[in-house]
Structure formats: C-alpha cells, structure tokens
Amino acid sequence: MSRLGNLGHRLHRGEVAYDFVGKRRLWYGVSILITLVAVIGLVVNGLKLSIEFSGGAVFTTPKSSLSVSEVQNKIAGDTGSSTAVVQKLGTGSLRIQISDVGTAEAAQIQSKIATDLGLKSQDINEQVVGPSWGQEISNKAIEGLVIFMILVTIYLAIAFEWRKAVAAVIALIHDLTITVGVYAIVGFEVSPGTVIGLLTVLGYSLYDTVVVFDGLKETTKDITKQNRFTYSELANRSLNQTLVRSINTTVVALLPVAALLFVGGGLLGAGMLNDIALSLFVGLAAGAYSSIFIATPLVADLKERDPEIKALKKRVLAKRAADARKAETATDEPQDADQADDDEEAEGAHPAAAGAVSGQRNQPASRSRSKNRPSGKRR
C-alpha cells in the first residue's frame, strides 16, 4: 500500500488526525488575507472584459511571421482612442481585438490594418459585437450566477440544514472572489469561457463540500445522546476521514486543467483555453481549500451556538473533568498503600525507632495450656 493510502486508512480509523476545526481562527485569518489581496487587485487593476461583454471588433489575420510587438507598433495609429490587444494564435495567425468600436468604425480600422500589414482587406476576418449585445451577455451571466447560488442554498438547506447551506455559500463566494481577483491581477480577459469556467468551478467546490458535509451528517447522528465528544471534535474527525479523498479528487482534476492552461494556452496559444483553464485551475485549488479550511469550521462555529450543542459541550467537559479527578485519586491511593507497607516494615525492622519500650519482654501465656490440665505440682 502506498504511503498516502496508508495515511488515508489511519485518518479514517482515527489513529492520526490534524486539528483543522480547532485551529479555525488561523484559517479564517489566512482566507481573509487572500481575499483582501484579491479585492485590492480587482479595485486597482479592474477586469479586462472581452468584446463579448464590452462590445467591439475582432480582426483575425492569415498566418504571419510578424511578432506581437511588431504588429502593435504598425497598427498603433489605426485604432484611434481605442486600445488594441494583439495575440499570436497557435496556427501562426494574429488576433487583434479592439473594444468600444462600432460597425462603421470597424470597417475603416480593418482597411488601415490591412494596409499596414501588407494584406488584402478581404483576407482579414472581421467580427463586430455591439455594446448592447455585450451588456445583455453580462446581465445574463450575472443572472445565471445568482440563480445558481439560490438553487444551491435551497438544496443544501433541504438536504442538510440551513447552517451548512450558509457555510457552503460563504465558501463559494470565497472561491469566486479569489478567482476573479486572480484574473484582475494577472490581466487575463474575462470572456464567456471564463463564465463557463467559474460555474464549473463552483460545481467542483460544491462537490467537495457536500462530500465532507455528508460524512459530518453521519458522524454527528444522535450526537446529543453521548457524552464523549463535542460537535467540533466530531466535525474534525469527519473532515480527517475525507481528507485524502478530497486531496486525490482535486489533484486528479487539476492535472488536465494544468495541461490546458500551460500547454494549450501557453505553448499552443489558444486564447479561449486560457480563459477557461485559468478560472478552472484557480477555482479548483480555492474550492479544495475552502471545503477543508472554511466550510466545516464555519458549520462547527454555527452549530456550537445551538443550545443543545452548548449543553452537550458542558456535559462532555464536566465528564472529562470528573474522569480526570478519578484518575488522579486512583493514582494516589496505591502510593498511600505502598507508603503504609513501607512504614510497617520499618517498624518491624527498627522497634526502637517506632517508639517501642526497651527492657525485659513479657512472655506470652502458653496457648497450649488448658484449664483442666494439672499444674504439675506435687501434693
């Protein structure tokens, strides 16, 4: 059996465990710090929206030997006040994206680009997206995200309870904020592929969280009928039992996504793969983190405010204190008995030290003498 498999069996049997729930304040602090960095990056840099959201034009040229920097220098004066984003595709062709331009202006820009690059105007593929259509796409994406969150909350509240639903939604918002913040810091475009990736990420994150919650539901069944463990302790045990499974599923999911991001997007230059793969890669890692370090500790915090769980915690702590006192008493009693035996031995070995009177000893009466036995005197 592999070392990781052996660790998984030991975690499941409770032979080893890491106190995730007990150290939840540490994880809360780390999550808040990461989220603040993501929010600051979002505020400072903002999101770089693709033309599907902002509106604009995309020009695709035939295969060219020109580099990205050379193309940017050649067409610098062709786009007016708009900024052109040039990208080299895997086929060797060039993708030139210009935001906030209309149909008439796009035709003029296409003609200028063709002249500067030494191409025919009809050889350049043009795609124009109006700003109203882009705004509609943005609204639809936000509506889809909100509907997804509402349905997730309702499902978790029915399948488990409202506390777990709240914890899962907070974990999902945490994952979404980090992913969007990374997009703002890195400078990748937010395209419809990004939205698809985000929704997929939320599904993966929810899957990990539901696996942990299902184990927690079984572990804490009839919890108030026992006095051995608190809710937080059982929650931590359930989390440790599913830890290796969560790690394995996350690693297996990250491997193909990493191939899409670094090979498909980085080496082959497929722009759409970059949009989807980055959101998947960051979101999967954040989802695995939140399901372990955020969701379950939050459930424990919320549950321990319940009066029954509070009473259970008091009973458990009182029982442990009583058991500790009994153990101390049981440990002290053999020591007292041994000390008494030592004193008795000391008294037998040293009668004078024990307070015995020195002098002639009185002979004890003979136990074999009977009342009817003659004294032995002659008459």
Cα separation, 115 vs 54, in Å, equals 27
Pairing mode, strands 189-190 and 48-49: parallel
pLDDT at position 337 over 70: no
pLDDT at position 359 over 60: no
Residue range(s) of every CATH 3.30.70 domain in the chain: 56-129
Lowest mean pLDDT among 43-47, 79-83, 218-222, 360-364: 360-364
Output phi, psi for 99, to 5 deg. -90, 160
Question: Which among 218, 150, 153, 205 is positioned nearest to 176, based on CA atoms?
Answer: 205
Return the pLDDT at 34: 92
Highest averaged pLDDT of the listed ranges 60-69, 78-87, 336-345? 60-69
331, burial (CB in 10 Å: exposed 0-12, middle 13-18, buried 19+): exposed
Return the pLDDT at 80: 66
pLDDT at position 354 over 50: no
Return the pLDDT at 327: 84
- Could you report the per-residue pLDDT of 133-181, keeping only the tens digit for each? 667 777 887 888 888 888 888 888 888 888 888 998 898 889 889 988 8
Residue 341: pLDDT band with limits 50, 70, 90: low
> Would you identify the CATH topology of the domain 3-49+133-315?
Multidrug efflux transporter AcrB transmembrane fold (1.20.1640)
C-beta separation of 71 from 86 below 8 A: yes
Return the pLDDT at 32: 93
Cα separation, 216 vs 168, in Å, equals 14
- Write the DSSP assignment of 26-56 as a string of letters: HHHHHHHHHHHHHHHHHHHH--EE-HHHH-E
Cα separation, 190 vs 99, in Å, equals 13
Residue range(s) of every CATH 1.20.1640.10 domain in the chain: 3-49+133-315
Between the alpha carbon of residue 217 and those of residues 160, 211, 228, 232, 338, the distances in Å are: 8, 10, 17, 13, 50
Cα separation, 289 vs 171, in Å, equals 9
Residue 335: pLDDT band with limits 50, 70, 90: low
CATH number listed for the domain at residues 56-129 = 3.30.70
pLDDT at position 368 over 50: no
Residue 251: pLDDT band with limits 50, 70, 90: confident
Q: Please calculate the CA angle 165-168-172 and round it to the nearest 5 degrees.
A: 135
Average pLDDT over residues 120-124: 79
Cα separation, 293 vs 175, in Å, equals 12
Average pLDDT over residues 345-359: 41
Question: Which among 97, 42, 52 is positioned nearest to 191, based on CA atoms?
Answer: 52
Q: Would you state the structure tokens that stand for residue 84, as one six-digit string?
A: 């052109």
First to last CA, the chain: 102
Output phi, psi for 88, to 5 deg. -90, 125
pLDDT at position 245 over 60: yes
pLDDT at position 33 over 90: yes
What does the radius of gyration of the chain's CA atoms come to, in whole angstroms?
39
Cα separation, 68 vs 352, in Å, equals 108
Return the pLDDT at 30: 92
| Residue in the structure block whose two tokens are 């940017």 | 72
Contacts (Cβ under 8 Å, ≥6 apart) of 351: none
Return the pLDDT at 131: 63
Highest averaged pLDDT of the listed ranges 296-305, 329-338, 341-350? 296-305
Which carries the bigger pLDDT value, residue 354 or residue 38?
38
Cα separation, 251 vs 8, in Å, equals 15
Average pLDDT over residues 361-371: 46
Return the pLDDT at 183: 85
Q: What percent of the chain has pLDDT over 70?
A: 77
